[in-house]
Structure 1
């Protein structure tokens, strides 16, 4: 896909930055979003996803071919905190990790329907969608499970019009966020649960995302791809 126009969320660090690097190696025009670089948008603000989409569409001459939803947060919320605080954290995580992605998916599908053109969605979910996560991360696991279900629904609903959707489920990945978590969970003990013996490198996840965004055959639509060192197999 030459001169492919791509919107990538959460592109300023970690997996998102690695995806941006992988995509830029190909003939694409990329708009990145992030808190440190790219087009700024705070997904805790309900107006932000639509504003980001409009900015990206204007910048890319009115055409977006691929949407990669990578932005997300991973914040511990212990069960024993005040009830209102727990609910607020749940809703913040759902809005950033799932609702913002859903809004962008809707805008993308509607864009492709209106233009009568195919398009691709790549959603970066998590192993937690299937395996679950720690007792302090109910919301994170639930948001990623929702992303997987949403991806499958989009794939089934719009494949006939050339609109494809893929989900990627990384396990622990050596980003700053993951490093803190690995250390907090005992480091070597956690790594012992990964048959590969190490966490994934962001470039490994990025290569899968690049493939889905540009090269995966249409019959793969609806696929959920694991990148977790066999720490969870389905």
Structure 2
């Protein structure tokens, strides 16, 4: 059994991942913006919110008999449009997107790497980091979502850097890049962009389900071989292939 810190655990991919991980026997410490349902409240739009979350997660991990987190899953994200004609709004949306989609993940990765080093680094126990990025990090996104694509591309580069820098200490890092997934955010986007046209761009003919992405998270958290560290796993119905 592993102690797993999972952000964005209240809905969509995060909620499905929480179920999959708990059914696999893991202890999940979840985060959401509002909290509730045994989730830690943390608003990543606020500076240093990730630091407070990490400290609280360690306290909860101690309740399992070991003050240790074994796996970090950065899944929290926000998908909001920015109009390039609105200078103030454009800047504000970029700042919010960066804070939630990238900076909070970076802060938690920093804590995780230091924690893994302090608790069995070297060739010992180490730990795993799973960053849920996006297909947008590879191919870009709509003209209203430069910031989202940029943040997710940053998450991919961060994952590769962590993998290359700390593999020798058994600290592993993986990324997942979903295309459209049937969550609240995707449903709103599909409706606003004309669902039929977007689905026509997916050879599989449908978007992914949260449970499909959750299964990838579960596998990476426990079963993926160490030699896969640094890998990015696509799940987009062949709408973007590399």
TM over 0.5: yes
1:64 aligns with 2:69: yes
Q: Which residue is equivalent to 1:43? A: 44
Decide which moves more: 203-212 or 36-45. 36-45
Which of these residues, 10, 24, 27, is aligned with residue 25 of structure 2?
A: 27
Taking the TM superposition and a 5 Å limit, the aligned residue runs for 1:133-144 are 133-144=141-152
**RMSD across aligned positions (CA):** 0.8
- Corresponding residue to 2:88 among 79, 84, 95: 84
Correspondent of 1:131 among 130, 136, 139 = 139
The number of aligned residues is 231
After the TM superposition, which residues 1-234 of structure 1 pair with which residues of structure 2 at under 5 Å, given as runs? 3-36=1-34, 37=36, 38-61=39-62, 62-81=67-86, 83-116=87-120, 117-234=125-242
Partner Cα separation in structure 1 for residue 89 and residue 25 of structure 2: 46
Query: How many angstroms does 1:69 deviate by?
Result: 0.2
Residue 29 of structure 1, CA deviation: 1.1
Deviation at residue 210 of structure 1 after TM alignment: 0.7
Q: CA deviation at 1:152?
A: 0.3
Structure 2 length as normaliser, TM-score? Answer: 0.94
Following the alignment from structure 2 to structure 1, what is the Cα–Cα distance between the partners of residues 203 and 48?
43
Q: Look up the SS of the partner of 1:19 in the other structure.
A: helix
Give the C-alpha shift of residue 35 in structure 1: 2.7
Once the two structures are overlaid, the 10-residue window that deviates more, 84-93 or 161-170, is 84-93
Checking the alignment, whether the CA contact within 8 Å between 2:132 and 2:177 is kept in structure 1 is yes
Q: Deviations over 1:27-66 (max 9, x none)?
A: 2111000135410000011121000000000110120000
Distance (whole Å) between structure 1 residues aligned to residue 218 and residue 84 of structure 2: 37
Structure 1 stretches of at least 4 aligned residues deviating more than 6 Å after TM superposition: none
Q: TM-score, normalised by structure 1?
A: 0.97
Whether contact under 8 Å (2:83, 2:89) holds in the other structure is no
Q: Which ranges of structure 1 fall in alignment gaps of 5 or more residues? A: none
> Partners of 1:32 and 1:118 in 2: how far apart?
21
What 5-or-longer segments of structure 2 have no aligned partner?
none
What secondary structure does 1:169 align onto? strand
